[in-house]
Homo-oligomer: A and B are copies of this chain.
Amino acid sequence: MFAATAIRGDAFEIPPTMRAWVLGGPDELALIEKPVPDPGRCEVLVRVDAVAICATDLEIIKHGLPAMVEGRPPFNKQFTIGHEYMGTIVKLGPSVDEFRIGDRIAVEIHAGCGRCPRCREGMYTSCLNYGFPSKGHRANGFTTDGGFAEYAVNNVNTLVHVPDEMPDEEATLIVTAGTAMYGLDVLGGLIASEGVVVTGPGPIGLMGVAIAKALGADPVILTGTRDRRLEIGRTLGADAVVNIRNEDPVAAVSRITGGKGVQYVLECSGAAAALDEAARMVTRGGRICLAAFPHEPVSVDLAYIVRNNIYVFGIRGEGKSATHRAAALMKQKRFDASLIHTHTFSLRELPTAIKYARERIEDAIKVVVKVH
C-alpha cells in the first residue's frame, strides 16, 4: 500500500495503478488492479482513506447499476461502487484552487451537470442529465467510479472540508448526516420548537434525530422496531422513542404530544404504511419528507392528505449543500455521529464488511472500510 506523506501543500507520490473493487455479475465483487485516474477540469484526485457501506450499495451489488446510466450495462466488470467516502486530496485538476493538496475532505454524492434547468435552479440532485457523465453529471459510486478503491476522482463542488480532529471513520458519516439535514431543509428549515417525528432508526433516521435536536426541534420522537437502535436515538437527542411492536405509532405520537401531533415527519423506514401513518402524525398543514420508500406500490389515503393540506417531499440524496451544514454541526460536536459507526474492516475485507452490513451481524449499523 502506498504510504502518502501527510504534510499539507506538499506533493504526494501517486502510483500508476491501484487496488479497486469492481462489480461483476450480481453479487460478484472482484479486487483488481486499475489505473489511478487523473483529475480533469474542476476535479481533484482523492486518496480514499475510509468509506462507509450504505444500504444502496447493497442494492447495487445485487441488482446492478441504475438502469438510467448512459451506455452502461449493469454488470460491466469495471465499475467501482461506494459513495460514502472521505480522504485526502493528492492532486488538483486544471483550474482548481479551492482546495490544497493534503486537505482532508468528505464528498457529496451528486455533482450536477450544471447545464440543465434543474442544476440552473440549484436542484443538482435532480439533475436532468442524471446518468450522463458525458454531459457533466456525476454521482459517485452510482454513475461514476466510487470509493471502494485506493483513489477516486471527484468534482470540487462536491467536496466538504473535514476538520483535523475528526477521525476518518466519523467523517464517512458526513454524507449520511447531510441527507438527513437535507430532509429537514426541504421541510422548511425552521424546525426549532416544532415537533419532529423520525420514522425508522437506520443511519439516516438516527442522524435525522441528532440534527433535528441540534437545531432545536421539540419534541423529537423516534419510532422503530429495535430497542437498541431506539436507545441510540435517545442518546443522539430523541425526547421520546416508540417501539412500534409495542405501541401504535400514531397513537404514541398523539400521546406524547398531548393530542396535538407534530409539524414534521422525516420518513426513513420505507415501511408500507409509513406515509399513511405519517399523515396522521402531523397537524393540519403538516409536512412529510420521504427519505426512504417501499419497493412495491402501496396503498395511500390521498383524501386524508388533501383534506389536511399536507405536503409530501420525496428526496433523493443530499442536495442544497446540506452536507456542508451537517459537517459544520459535526465539527462543532453538536452530536456524536460516531455512535452509529459499529464496525471497521480493511479494503481487502470488503466482502466481510458487506456481509456484516447486509445481515446486520452484531447489530451492525454503519460498517466502515478503512482504506489508507
Please give the residue numbers on chain A whose beta carbons come within 8 Å of chain B beta carbons, in ascending order.
41-42, 95, 98, 112, 114-128, 130, 134-136, 155-157, 181, 185-186, 189-190, 192-193, 213-218, 275-276, 283-285, 290-303, 305-316, 319-321, 324-329, 331-332, 334
In the complex, given contacts A127-B284, A306-B314, what are 14 additional A-B residue pairs having Cβ atoms less than 8 angstroms apart? A121-B320, A190-B320, A192-B215, A192-B329, A213-B332, A215-B215, A297-B299, A297-B300, A300-B302, A307-B314, A309-B315, A310-B314, A311-B311, A312-B313
Q: Which residue of B lies closest to A213 (CB)?
A: B332
Known contacts A98-B115, A115-B98; is A126 also within 8 Å of B302 by CB?
no
- In the complex, the answer to whether B316 meets A302 with C-beta atoms within 8 Å is no
Q: Chain B contacts of A42 at CB under 8 A? A: 114-115, 136
- In the complex, the answer to whether A302 meets B311 with C-beta atoms within 8 Å is no
7 shortest A-B CB distances, which residue pairs?
A: A122-B122, A126-B285, A114-B114, A193-B328, A192-B325, A306-B314, A305-B314
- In the complex, the answer to whether A119 meets B114 with C-beta atoms within 8 Å is yes
Q: Chain B contacts of A116 at CB under 8 A? A: 157
- In the complex, the answer to whether B316 meets A307 with C-beta atoms within 8 Å is yes
Between A and B, 23 residue pairs with Cβ closer than 8 Å are A114-B115, A115-B155, A117-B321, A118-B283, A120-B124, A120-B157, A121-B320, A121-B321, A126-B309, A215-B215, A215-B216, A216-B334, A218-B332, A290-B302, A293-B303, A293-B306, A293-B307, A297-B301, A300-B302, A307-B314, A307-B316, A311-B311, A311-B313
Known contacts A297-B301, A300-B300; is A157 also within 8 Å of B114 by CB?
yes
Closest CB-CB distance, A331 to chain B, in whole Å? Answer: 7
Closest CB-CB distance, A172 to chain B, in whole Å? Answer: 18
- In the complex, the answer to whether A303 meets B313 with C-beta atoms within 8 Å is no
Q: Chain B contacts of A331 at CB under 8 A? A: 218
Q: Chain B contacts of A301 at CB under 8 A? A: 297
Distance in angstroms between the alpha carbons of A134 and B96 in the assembled complex: 10
Closest CB-CB distance, A261 to chain B, in whole Å? Answer: 9
Distance in angstroms between the alpha carbons of A293 and B279 in the assembled complex: 15
Q: Which residue of B lies closest to A307 (CB)?
A: B316
Q: Chain B contacts of A214 at CB under 8 A? A: 216
Q: Chain B contacts of A300 at CB under 8 A? A: 275, 297-300, 302
Known contacts A190-B185, A218-B331, A297-B302; is A316 also within 8 Å of B325 by CB?
no
Q: Which residue of B lies closest to A136 (CB)?
A: B42
Distance in angstroms between the alpha carbons of A314 and B275 in the assembled complex: 13
- In the complex, the answer to whether B302 meets A293 with C-beta atoms within 8 Å is yes
Closest CB-CB distance, A43 to chain B, in whole Å? Answer: 10
Known contacts A115-B98, A303-B295, A312-B312; is A332 also within 8 Å of B216 by CB?
yes
Q: Which residue of B lies closest to A324 (CB)?
A: B193
Q: Chain B contacts of A303 at CB under 8 A? A: 293-297
- In the complex, the answer to whether A316 meets B308 with C-beta atoms within 8 Å is yes
Distance in angstroms between the alpha carbons of A309 and B181 in the assembled complex: 15
Specify which of B95, B216, B292, B306 is in contact with A325 (CB 8 Å cutoff).
Answer: B216
Q: Which residue of B lies closest to A285 (CB)?
A: B126
Known contacts A283-B128, A327-B193, A329-B216; is A314 also within 8 Å of B308 by CB?
yes
Specify which of B112, B134, B189, B193 is in contact with A190 (CB 8 Å cutoff).
Answer: B189
Closest CB-CB distance, A26 to chain B, in whole Å? Answer: 20
Closest CB-CB distance, A126 to chain B, in whole Å? Answer: 3
**Most B C-beta atoms less than 10 A away, residue of A156, A285, A291, A305:** A285
